[in-house]
Amino acid sequence: MAVHDTESGGNGFEPKILVFACNWCSYAGADLAGVSRLQMPANCRVIRVMCSARVRPEFVITALSKGLDGVLVLGCHPGDCHYSEGNYFTRRRGLLLQKLLQYVGIEPERFQVRWISASEGAKFAETIGQVTDQIKALGPNRSQNGMQPAEPGDS
């Protein structure tokens, strides 16, 4: 069992969060957090992509529908994309997808986009901590077919 605190009220729920990080900025920022030994919760799993613009909305939808508790897309700050414009598309796709997911009843915290530069190791650590706490408080993602939570009123 995990040693650290669980905020979701003692049932020991540990969310599983998928993180996409772009090679030039956010993945480097994550590395810097590591080099700086900034400690953070161990719930996130990073998939490296060259640019946040590689992340297609279908990945996010699939990940959430298959039961992952959250998806976080990290990219360079707008204006600083290594490929000039990639993250502007990430931004638009992210905006639209967030609203759509929320509309079909998926909590907004489960899909987030953040801009983290290569020098922002601290921001990476902070983001991971924050997002993990938010999603932990929400409980397991009930998108997944197999998971039938015991709560009433979920007809």
Q: H or E segment at 92?
A: helix 86-103
CA distance 37 to 19: 19
Q: Is 111 in the site for other proteins (CB under 8 A)?
A: no
Of 146, 149, 150, 152, the residue at the interface with other proteins (CB under 8 A) is 146
Closest Cα partner for 75 from 5, 133, 127? 127
Size of the site for other proteins (CB under 8 A): 85
Ranges within 34-53 binding other proteins (CB under 8 A): 34-35, 37-43, 45-51, 53
Task: State in angstroms the smallest separation of the CB of 148 from other proteins.
Answer: 11
Task: State in angstroms the smallest separation of the CB of 149 from other proteins.
Answer: 12
Q: Is 57 in the site for other proteins (CB under 8 A)?
A: yes
Give residues with Cβ within 8 angstroms of 122, minimum separation 6.
33, 36, 38
